[in-house]
Amino acid sequence: MEVILLERIERLGQMGEVVTVKPGFARNFLFPQKKALRANKDNKSLFESKRVELEATNVKRRDEAQIVARKMDGLKLIIVRQAGEGGQLYGSVSARDIADALKEKGFAVDRASEVLLSAPVKTLGNFKTAVRLHPEVKVDVEFTVARSVEEAKQGIAKAADLLERAEDAAKLVAEGAATENADDESAEIPT
C-alpha cells in the first residue's frame, strides 16, 4: 500500500515522500497516529496544499524538542530496584521505567517507545540510553540502577573517582612516553 508520510519516520522516509508499506502497518500504526495519508490523487493535492503548514509545525516541534534536549543533556537518573547479592535484579528495568523516571524529573516523555533501550536492564550498575524527543532529535540519558539512593550516589562517586584515576594514569603514561622518546633521541649519535 502506498502512503504519503506526514512526518519523518526513521527507516521509512522523510515528510512528503510516497512510500510503500504493508497494509497492516498503515492501518494499525500510520493512519491512527496521523503520520501518513493513503496515496491517492485527492490526498496528494491535499498534502501539497497543507505542506507549508505541516513543515512549519514540524520545525516548531523540532525546536521545542531541541530546547528540552539541551535541558535533558547530562541528566543522571537513579532507579531503585531490589537485587540479589550478585547484582542481579529481581525483575528488570524497562523503557517504561525510564520514561516514568523522566516524568518524575519534570520532562514530558509521552510514551515509553521514545526511550530507545535495546533490552531490559537486569543488573545493577550505570547505563546509558537514547531518548527520541522528535524524529530528528535524540538525547543520551545516563541512569544508575541501585538497591537504594545512597548506594547509587556512592556508585556515582566511585565512578567519578575511577575516571579521575584513569585520566591521571593516562597522563603519566603519556608523559613517560614523551620522556622516553626524548631520551632515545638524545642517545643517538650522528655520524
pLDDT single digits (tens) 69-82 = 898 888 888 888 88
Tell me the C-alpha distance between 126 and 152, whole Å: 9
Q: Which pTM was predicted? A: 0.66
Set of cell numbers at residue 146: 541501585
Whether 17 has a pLDDT exceeding 60, the answer reads: yes
Tell me the C-alpha distance between 149 and 127, whole Å: 16
Whether 89 has a pLDDT exceeding 80, the answer reads: yes
pLDDT digits (tens, 9 = 90+) for 31-73: 999 999 999 999 999 888 888 888 888 889 889 889 988 988 8
Domains of the chain (ranges; CATH) run 2-71 (3.40.5.10), 73-153 (3.10.430.100)
Strand segments, DSSP code E, in 28-103 are 36-38, 76-80, 88-93
pLDDT at 191: 53
Q: Report yes or no: 3 and 30 within 8 Å, Cβ to Cβ.
A: yes
